[in-house]
């Protein structure tokens, strides 16, 4: 379960201010946050993932109160329980596809890279139809393929929550559908909660619920 209570967040410099009184997302739910650019969608994901901590209020993700954890605890929590998918994929150009999928296991010692994990990575690649491209450097992959790799990377640690930040923002319509489809399907198969932020209304049909940033209208300050 994800729960936000009386959240207030501001960056140390600048006028941006985010304030969310109460949001609850059940386990396994697929939720899309929608709102215009600069409304704080990405910041909300960062707060849920424990990348940022609120000025006040509490954030509970997957049953853990991330807002009260230490830096190290939040990092470990994140790498173990949260799968992140970014708008521009953020793959490492000097690693091949397999190594990109395995990245979480290489950069945090709370995850142990075992042959079983590697097999799982290969199985994921298989599931997204890219088993034949494991050895390729990612800059040799198409945009759609790259996002599929990014999804595999997010799913590999078997997270309880999958968070996607504008995951289709850089894709053409055909790929957009496929990636979204895949995201939803993989979250289903993994039994993970899916939290997506987007400004594209046409994709909302695939989610169980849409939370519009407009509902925080009176409390959300605009970024400069």
Partner 1 sequence: MKNAFYMASRYMRRHKGKTAILIASIAMIVFLPLGLQTVVDQTTSELEARARSTPLLVGRKGSPLELALSSLYFAAKPVEPLAMADVDRIRDTGFALPIPLHVRYRAREQPIVGTSLEYFDFRALRVADGRQMATLGECVVGASAAEALEVGPGDAVTSSPTDVFNLAGAYPLKMRVVGVLARSHSPDDDAVFVDMKTAWVIEGIGHGHDDVSKPEMAGQLLKRDGNKITASAQVREYQEITAKQAESFHFHGDPATFPVTAVLAVPNDAKSQALLRGRYLGKDERDQIIEPVAVMDELVTTVVKVRSYVTAAVVLLGISTLLMMTLVFALSIRLRRREMETMTKIGCSRGTIASLLGCEIGVVLAAGVAIAIGLTTAAHAWGPALLREVLL
Q: Which two tokens stand for residue 69?
A: 């954890």
d(CA 204, CA 220): 22
Q: Does 140 bind partner 1 (CB under 8 A)?
A: no
Q: Does 32 bind partner 1 (CB under 8 A)?
A: no
Closest CA to 87 of 13, 162, 171: 171
The nearest distance, CB 86 to partner 1, in angstroms, is 7
Q: Does 90 bind partner 1 (CB under 8 A)?
A: yes
Q: Which residues contact 183 (CB under 8 A, 6 or more apart)?
A: 85, 151, 162, 164, 167, 194, 196
Q: Does 84 bind partner 1 (CB under 8 A)?
A: yes
Among 58, 108, 170, 210, binds partner 1 (CB under 8 A): 108
Contact letters for partner 1, residues 167-196 (x by CB under 8 A): ------------------------------
Closest CA to 164 of 83, 51, 104, 106: 83
> Judged by CB under 8 A, which stretch of 7-15, 26-34, 100-108, 202-210 contacts partner 1?
100-108
The nearest distance, CB 2 to partner 1, in angstroms, is 18
Beta bridge partners, 165, equal: 197
Count of CB atoms situated within 10 Å of the CB of 69:
17
Tell me how many residues contact partner 1 (CB under 8 A). 29
Closest CA to 85 of 172, 196, 177: 196
Q: Does 60 bind partner 1 (CB under 8 A)?
A: no
> Judged by CB under 8 A, which stretch of 17-25, 28-36, 59-67, 75-83 contacts partner 1?
75-83
Q: Does 95 bind partner 1 (CB under 8 A)?
A: yes
Whether 57 and 5 have beta carbons less than 8 Å apart is answered as yes
Q: Does 104 bind partner 1 (CB under 8 A)?
A: yes
* Cα angle: 185, vertex 198, 28; to 5 degrees: 35
Binding site for partner 1 (CB under 8 A): 46, 49, 51, 71-72, 75-80, 84, 86, 90, 92-95, 99, 103-109, 113, 137, 153
């Amino acid at each position: 379960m994800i729960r936000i209570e009386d959240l207030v967040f501001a960056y140390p410099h600048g006028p941006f201010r985010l304030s969310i009184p109460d949001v609850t997302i059940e386990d396994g739910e697929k939720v899309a946050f929608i709102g215009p650019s600069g409304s704080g969608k990405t910041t909300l994901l960062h707060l849920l993932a424990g990348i940022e901590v609120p000025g006040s209020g509490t954030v509970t993700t997957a049953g853990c109160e991330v807002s009260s954890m230490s830096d190290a605890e939040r990092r470990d929590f994140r790498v173990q329980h949260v799968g992140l998918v970014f708008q521009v994929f953020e793959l490492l150009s000097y690693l091949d596809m397999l190594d990109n999928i395995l990245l979480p296991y290489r950069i945090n010692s709370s995850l142990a890279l075992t042959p079983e994990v590697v097999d799982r990575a290969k199985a994921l690649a298989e599931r997204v139809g890219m088993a034949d491209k494991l050895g390729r450097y990612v800059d040799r992959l198409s945009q759609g393929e790259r996002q599929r790799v990014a999804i595999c990377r997010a799913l590999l640690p078997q997270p309880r929550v999958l968070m996607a930040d504008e995951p289709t923002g850089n894709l053409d319509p055909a790929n957009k559908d496929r990636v979204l489809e895949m995201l939803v399907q993989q979250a289903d198969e993994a039994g993970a909660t899916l939290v997506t932020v987007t400004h594209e209304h046409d994709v909302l049909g695939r989610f169980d619920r849409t939370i519009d940033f407009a509902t925080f209208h009176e409390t959300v300050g605009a970024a400069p």
